[in-house]
Structure 1
Amino acid sequence: MAGTDKAAELYAFVKEYAQLKLEAETKRYESLIQQASNMQAAFSFSTAALFMVAAIVIEYRGKLSLTYFLWMFASITFFLMLSLFFSASAQSRGQIKDFADVGEFRKFVEDHYTAYFSQAQRDKAIAEQIEKVQLSASQKNDEMACKIRWSMRFFYIALGLSACWFVISVWILYH
C-alpha cells in the first residue's frame, strides 16, 4: 500500500507541474498576441505619419526629384509592410493539439476503466494529456515569438531608413 501512496503523490506532483507549465504557455500566448497587436498599432501610427509627411515634403521638395521621393517612401513602406505581415501572421494561432473531447475521453475511460482505479493512474493520464497540449502550445508560441522578432526588426529597419533618408535629404538640400 505504501508504494501506491508514493506513486499517487508523485503523479499528483507531476500533474500539478504539468498544469503550471500549461498555464505559463497560455500566459505566454496572451503576451505574444498583445505584442503582435502592439506592432500592428505601431505600424498604423508610423504609416499614417509617413504619408502625412510625404504630402508635406513633396509639396516643399526644393531641388529633390519626385523619383527620389518615390524611392525614399517606397523603401520605408516596404519594410513597414514586412513588419505588418509578420505581426499579422504571428497572430494566426494555427493548429495546436487540444484535449480530447469529453465524449471521447469518457468512452476511453469506460473501455479501460480498470486502468483508472488508482488516483496515481488518473493523475498520470491527465499529466500525459497536458504534456501533449503544452508541447504543442510551446512550439506554436516559439513560432509566434520568432515572427514578432522579425516584425520588430523590419520596423526598426524602416525607422532607421527614415532617419537615413532624412539626413541624406537635408544634406542634398543644403549642399
Structure 2
Amino acid sequence: MKCENCKTNEATFFYEEIINGESKSLRLCAACAAKMKGEHKLFTATDSALPFHANFLDGLFGLSGNTKSESGKSCPGCSATWQELRNSGKAVCPRCYETFGEELKPTLRSLHGNVTHVGRAPAGRRAQKEKRDRLADLKNRLAEAIRDEKFEDAAALRDEIRGLEKE
C-alpha cells in the first residue's frame, strides 16, 4: 500500500485517531511520518493531544530511546546501519534483530506492548508444553511424597510419570 501523503513510497505506518466517535486514519511511509511528526501536522486534534502524538511517534522512530548505534554499528549479516533500519522501518535480515535489539526495544514495546512474543503457540508445541508441565508437576509431587514418606502415593506417581514418558 502506498503512502497517502507522497503517493510514492510504501506505507509502513498506520495512524488512526478517534475523537468524539469520528475516526481519521493515515497510512504513511517512514519519511512522511517523521516529517509530519516534526511539524505536528497529524490531524487537528486538541492541543492536549499533540504531545501524545509526538511521544508516540518518537517511540516508533526510537528518537526518545537508546540511540547509541548512531556511532556506526552495522549488521554483520546484511551491513545495514541503525539509521537505515530506522528510516525504512524494516529489518533487512534476522541478524538485524540481534544486532540492534536494544535499540529496537522501545519501538517494539510501543507497537506491541511487549518486547517478546506472548501469543498463541502452534498446536503441536502447545501439547508438548502441556506434557512437560504435567511431567514437572508429577515429579514435584513424587519428590514431596517421598519426603513425606507416602510411598504408596509415590509408587502411583512414579507409574504415571513412566506412562507419560513412554508416550
- Which interval holds the TM-score relative to the shorter structure? under 0.3
TM-score, length of structure 1 as denominator length: 0.23
Higher relative CO (CA 8 A, sep ≥ 6), structure 1 or 2? Answer: 1
Structure with the higher strand share, 1 or 2:
2
TM-score, length of structure 2 as denominator length: 0.24
Structure with the higher helix share, 1 or 2:
1
Bigger radius of gyration: 1
